[in-house]
Amino acid sequence: MTESRIVGHELPEEILSTVRKSQAAVLDAIQGWASTVQSITPSLPDVSVPFAEKLPKPQDLVTGAYDFAEQLLASQRNFAEEVMTATASLLPGKQDAPA
């Protein structure tokens, strides 16, 4: 594996492509499983649970969790970039870097 492949965009893109393909395969399997289960499961009556309308929907929970993770990752990236800026003058060949 060459250094340019590791540092460049080729390796990360390969990893992301593999992850997407794996996700698609798992999603297909889940959809097939759900379809099969639905076809053999009898219809269930509606159940009234007190205050059920006040509970968050599963989609809202997923959205909220990923929104939070996105904000956290952005904050961590900003912190890492600020650390790199603050320590840039310590890198070899950077003696002339502004303070």
Residue 99 has pLDDT above 80, yes or no: no
pLDDT tens for 18-53 read 999 999 999 999 999 999 999 999 888 888 889 988
Number of separate domains in the chain: 2
Task: Return the higher-pLDDT residue of 7 and 83.
Answer: 83
Is residue 43 one of the residues assigned to a domain? no
pLDDT tens for 8-19 read 778 899 999 999
What is the residue range of 31's domain? 9-38
Is residue 25 one of the residues assigned to a domain? yes
Is residue 50 one of the residues assigned to a domain? no
Q: Is the pTM of this model over 0.75?
A: no
Is residue 3 one of the residues assigned to a domain? no
Is residue 28 one of the residues assigned to a domain? yes
pLDDT tens for 68-96 read 999 999 999 999 999 999 999 998 876 65
Is residue 77 one of the residues assigned to a domain? yes
Residues in the chain: 99
Is residue 51 one of the residues assigned to a domain? no
